[in-house]
A and B are shown apart, each in its own frame.
Chain A
Amino acid sequence: MFISMKWLARHVDLSGITPEQLADDLTLSTCEVEGIERFAPHMSDVVVGHVLEREPHPDADKLGVARIDVGGDEPLQIVCGAPNLAPGQRVAVATIGTVLPGDFKIKKSKIRGVESRGMICSVRELDLGDEHDGIWVLPEVDETPLAVGQPVAAALGMEDWVIEVDNKSLTHRPDLWGHRGIARELAAIYERELKPIDLEMPALGGGAPVSVRVEDLACSRYLGLAIDGAVNGVSPDWLRELLLAVGQRPIDLLVDLSNFVMLDLGQPNHAFDRDRLASDGIVVRKASAGERMTTLDGEERELVESDLLITSGGDPVALAGVMGGEGSKVGDETGRLLLECATFDATTVRRTSARLAHRTDSSARFEKTLDPTLPEAAAAHFANLLRGLQPGVSFPCALADAGEWADPARSIHLRGDVVRRDLGVELDDDAIASILSRLGLTPTATSGGFDVAIPSARALKDLTMERDLVEEVGRIHRYGSVPEAPLVGAIEPPPFDRRRQMVRAVEDRLAGAARFHQVLSYSFTPDDLLERTGCAGGDFVRADNPVAPDMARVRREVLPSLLGLVESARRERDVVRLFELGKGYRPEEAGEDGMPREVHQLAMVLALPPGVAGAPFDAGAFFQLRAAVDDVITAAGVTAPCWASADAAHPAAHPVKQVSGAWSEDLDGCGFVASLEPGVARALGLEGELTSDVAVAVLDIDALLAAPASPPAYRPLPKFPMIKVDVACVAPSEMPAAELGGMIERAGKGAVRDLQLFDVFRGEALGEGKKSLAYHVVLQSDTKTLTDKDAQKFLGRLERSLEQQGAALRR
């Protein structure tokens, strides 16, 4: 919203206050000022010129050559085509170097051979209106011609500053949507008087009031003032200039006055041509479905049942609070008016203007919930201003006043101690009362505080409880003068938060030693990605109003978000390691409150170039990722789970190359590690030169939290040396390595300190359906030095147990 300083000065004396200071003070006490600008800055650049003579151009019939005195040593010669230019006039002259609106810079020129040293401006060239039939002949001020050579703005008293206020900072203050409201704040801030204005309704005639019937509660008050004898035409300069300053184009007197009243008091209003209304007057009602009307801007609009209408003779004449109708607008010949000042429901107006994507100065104000006593003041203001300009107008009948409303004015009890406690300042009761009074509130001292009378303008939503008044005192007193105070009280360390500690440990390990990159993703997963990853199954929470139609689904799990990044990441580099810790939502497991169950997951992806023949068995992505997962579980301080081959761990998991982890039957599994399903890999574009060896893993953080903890524990250093034995077992292909490992552990009778698989081999030499697994085994005893004899005993036990299971030891 734009505020004019000159306009404000009609309500409060601003002498001695700079625009910058005013902007700062408003920002610190009331609302955010976004910028200040000089009004019509070029008006300070053009100067008053005196036309000394005008002669015809020797070489062009329509042009004249004028000599203009602009206060310099010599008059300027200027070529000008305006028919109304005549000696003796005072005119606005743009001299060489001046820049006019539209970045138009005046240069010395030759027009048809005659030198011209400047330009004589029309109203339109100065962006002050549409008139361009001739140059702007400057008026006299106080019946004296303007002094030559001074800037036009200064000469005409047009200097003004425009302050732009952030509308968002006025959301809760409908009273600030007009200059008088802002002026009241400034009066309170600067401790100056708010000048009275005449808001008394003029004498009204005895005729029958215009009939107004309100049929819908969305209009709580509808006030109609009949005016006769108005003569429409061009508004006086002061009115045009104020409107121009705040960005409102002057139209004609009646429209300009209507706008002025709205921008002055904050009450939108609308003037109808009474002669163009039906004889039964006004009916305010909701639209019926499919009803149509043509609004002032010439657009035909289709209405819905929630739109509130002003109708006459059954037809809509205005879309309540948003815009007038084409049929009843005032024109040049309008003499008999009906001025509407009404109170419409905020939500109704907001919905209609949002639906039509048409916000107006009027709808913006109604959306804030307006004071139902304001229409009367606005009608009187309009009437008095019009009468001041046109003493011949009359008001033939009583006000039409319909609707049901209650004066929201109220009283709030305010305790001085509460003000001091909440603000943390020593402010005595007198100072508090002074601030409240300056804001137009009326405090009456009672025991321990005040009963504060809140006028209707502030009482609707803004000031409803004691704390609201604390804010009033605080902001005018200035928060900057509140002394900083330390929080006191015992500082207890916050309770231990295992989840957070675990998450940090996991993040640190992955981003550190494991060299993964942490990703944070959107919670929406595109439909297409869900399809490609095979993860589109199951119920999803969906946004009703997504950013794009295919972005409605709120993710159930984290993994697809990471998979969506693999292709582009693999284009960048050979090895891609990504992880994300995040949440997913499962509608099918909703709680009693109807909220979907939240899962907290760690998802990991490792993508490598495809493996080469002869590479060690554990060089591939699956085993590399399993190693990282085991390491992360250790870092999380959790006992290692048992990994067993699984099937259907996840739709993106390879049907065979996958394992699931669990601790015991009565605990939830921790998740899975798998190679990427080959079809999914292709669907993700990982083919051709991007063919990759990809492994994925998902761990459930809640399962990790529920699992047996395994914090690092000290073990005394061994007293006896270890011995190393290499063993190679030949086993049926289908026998899991975990089973062989178990046999080795048992054969060691507690002496196996470490077991490391270093080779897996399949080949003709072994025979069909066989594999060979070779391990480094470390044996160590707590009670004696092991010898070769002990190693042989161990191998003997292992051999027997292998043979029982259809396997063998290669000696």
Chain B
Amino acid sequence: MTDTTTILAETRARIADAPDVEALRAIEREVVGKDGVVASLLKSIPGLPPEERKGAGQSANELKQAVLAAIEEREASLGSAALEAERRADGFDGTLPPPRVERGTLHPVTQVTRELEDLFTSMGYMVLDGPEVELDDYNFEKLNIPADHPARDTQDTFYCSSPGSSASLLLRTHTSPVQVRAMERLEPPFRAIVPGKVFRQETTDASHEHTFHQMEGLVIDRNVSVGHLIGAMKTLLRGIFKKEIEVRLRPGYFPFVEPGFELDARCPFCTDGCSVCKRTTWIELLPCGLVHPNVLKAGGLDPEEWGGFAFGLGLSRLVMLRYGIDDVRHLLGGDLRFLDQF
């Protein structure tokens, strides 16, 4: 007669050594299964002397319970070991480089333009567009820049010829022609901005381009004053720089405004002079002024009844300031290594 105690001890040892759940199931089958050790013990009972039968049955059952308990215990500990192993994550290095995400980009000029468009539309400004190939009349004459004005010299302006057209054409030198086009088309009062491409005939280098982006602003209303202009410009600068910016207004000469100003902003990059502000702590940012009465007349408005202010913002320059771009030629160069950065 096999001693159940011995069987239990042996089985327990095997259970403790079982490497995984499959091994436990095999032991379970072998010991407590249909044809297992416990079953054969029970089968052998009828052949025992009657006084031993009860004890043998009891022992077999105790063996079964003990083995099952041991298996259960071992299984639980194997489960937690698996969890533990998963948690230990041997060899994991989170600093390995992840796969690169390819992405597209919006041009930085588009991004800044949009930001400004959103700012201005929230203040009731329309966004207008105008032709890049423009009539001399709109680019100059109607903007109070008469024929003999030095600004009209060919050194600044790309004059154009178009087959079959006798019109005096040029590539607009500023977004200002849209001032008059807007006055002709819209009912005052109105507020508008005009982002767009402009052209100057000049030699290019890191800080000069023959093609760049500007944004014109125009407000036409009754009783518009320099005070309103200052207020609007400060709001604009708060929108751009996201903080209060000290400004100063000084006389500036632009034929289509009177009085005309240069608006300087206190350099947001330094307190005592840096390369951006050329050590002056001021950045020349916004030419602006009250719309010249002659321009109002050219746009079909009565200067006694209507007034307004206009301003010009160098979008390309603003983009360069914002991202610290040191060469303006990158903007229209189309180099992916540049575009990818925004």
Binding site for B on A (CB under 8 A): 27-32, 168-169, 171-173, 346-347, 350, 354, 367, 421-425, 465, 467-468, 470-471, 474-475, 479-480, 482-487, 489, 491-495, 497, 499-500, 504, 507-508, 510-512, 514-524, 539-547, 554, 561-562, 564-565, 568-569, 572-573, 575-578, 583, 585, 587-588, 590, 593-596, 598
Contact = CB atoms under 8 A, between A and B. Distances in A.
B312 interface: no
Contact of B121 (A493, A539, A562): A493
Interface string B120-147: 0101111101011111000000000000
B133 A596 contact: yes
B178 interface: no
A520 B331 contact: yes
A544 B160 contact: yes
24 contacts: A173-B253, A422-B290, A467-B258, A470-B258, A470-B259, A479-B251, A485-B225, A487-B224, A487-B228, A517-B104, A520-B107, A520-B197, A520-B213, A520-B332, A520-B334, A539-B162, A568-B335, A572-B336, A590-B164, A593-B167, A594-B135, A594-B166, A594-B169, A598-B133
Given A474-B259, A544-B160, A590-B162, 5 more contacts: A28-B248, A28-B250, A500-B117, A523-B197, A595-B162
A791 B221 CA distance: 69
Given A424-B228, A485-B227, A494-B125, A29 B211 contact: no
Contacts of B199: 523
Given A487-B232, A497-B127, A595-B133, A565 B334 contact: yes
A35 to B, nearest CB: 9
Contact of A517 (B211, B260, B339): B339
A588 B162 CA distance: 9
B266 interface: no
Contacts of B334: 519-521, 561-562, 564-565, 578
A543 B210 CA distance: 12
Main secondary structure, interface of B, reads mixed
Given A29-B251, A511-B104, A518 B231 contact: no
Contact of A595 (B127, B167, B213, B336): B167
Interface string B212-224: 0100000101011
Contacts of B224: 487
Contacts of A539: 162-164
B32 interface: no
A426 to B, nearest CB: 11
A542 B161 contact: yes
Interface of B: 102-107, 109-110, 114, 117, 121, 123-127, 129, 131-135, 148, 150, 153-155, 158-167, 169, 171, 189, 191, 197, 199, 201, 203-204, 210-211, 213, 219, 221, 223-228, 230-232, 234, 248-253, 255, 258-262, 290, 292-293, 307, 331-332, 334-337, 339-340
A346 B148 contact: yes
A543 B171 contact: yes
A547 B230 contact: no
A422 B289 CA distance: 11
Contacts of A495: 126
A572 B201 CA distance: 32
Given A512-B104, A522-B332, A554-B171, A583 B231 contact: no
User: Which 4 A-B pairs rank lowest in CB-CB distance, beginning with the nearest?
Assistant: A594-B167, A424-B227, A424-B225, A471-B259
Nearest to B227: A424
A564 B164 CA distance: 29
A53 to B, nearest CB: 49
Contact of B131 (A425, A514, A598): A598
A678 to B, nearest CB: 23
Contacts of A587: 162-165
Contacts of B131: 595, 598
A500 B127 contact: yes
Contacts of A491: 123-124
Contacts of B107: 518-520
A486 B228 contact: yes
A32 B154 CA distance: 25
A594 B231 contact: no
Contacts of A172: 253, 255
B119 to A, nearest CB: 13
A94 B55 CA distance: 127
Nearest to A494: B126
A497 B165 contact: no
A573 B150 contact: no
A27 B251 CA distance: 8
A424 B253 contact: no
A519 B330 CA distance: 11
Nearest to B263: A479
Contacts, number: 241
Given A475-B259, A518-B339, A522-B211, A482 B127 contact: no
Pick from A173, A517, A576, A588 the residue with the most CB of B within 10 Å.
A517
Contacts of A517: 104-105, 336, 339-340
A187 B70 CA distance: 109
A422 B225 contact: yes
A467 B133 contact: no
Contacts of A573: 336
Contact of A480 (B124, B159, B248, B335): B248
B290 to A, nearest CB: 6
A523 B132 contact: yes
Contact of A516 (B104, B110, B121): B104
Contacts of B340: 517
Contacts of A467: 258-259, 290, 292-293
Nearest to A510: B104
A425 B148 contact: no
A483 B227 contact: yes
Nearest to A589: B164
A468 B135 contact: no
A508 B107 CA distance: 11
Pick from B123, B158, B203, B340 the residue with the most CB of A within 10 Å.
B158
Given A500-B127, A518-B110, A554 B133 contact: yes
B158 A543 contact: yes
B225 to A, nearest CB: 3
Contacts of A487: 191, 219, 221, 224, 228, 231-232
Contact of B150 (A350, A492, A493, A541): A350
Given A169-B253, A511-B104, A543 B114 contact: no
A643 B160 CA distance: 38
Contacts of B259: 467, 470-471, 474-475
Contacts of B339: 517-519
B171 A523 contact: yes
A595 B337 CA distance: 37
B336 A576 contact: yes
A421 B249 CA distance: 18
A496 to B, nearest CB: 10
A102 B279 CA distance: 25
B104 to A, nearest CB: 4
B259 to A, nearest CB: 3
B165 A423 contact: no
B103 to A, nearest CB: 6
B110 A507 contact: yes
A474 to B, nearest CB: 5
A594 B162 contact: yes
Nearest to B120: A494
A412 B184 CA distance: 29
Contacts of B129: 499
A145 to B, nearest CB: 42
A595 B158 CA distance: 15
Nearest to A487: B228
B210 A547 contact: yes
Contacts of A596: 133, 162, 165, 169
Contacts of B197: 520, 523
Contacts of B105: 511, 517-518
A541 B160 contact: yes
A588 B160 CA distance: 15
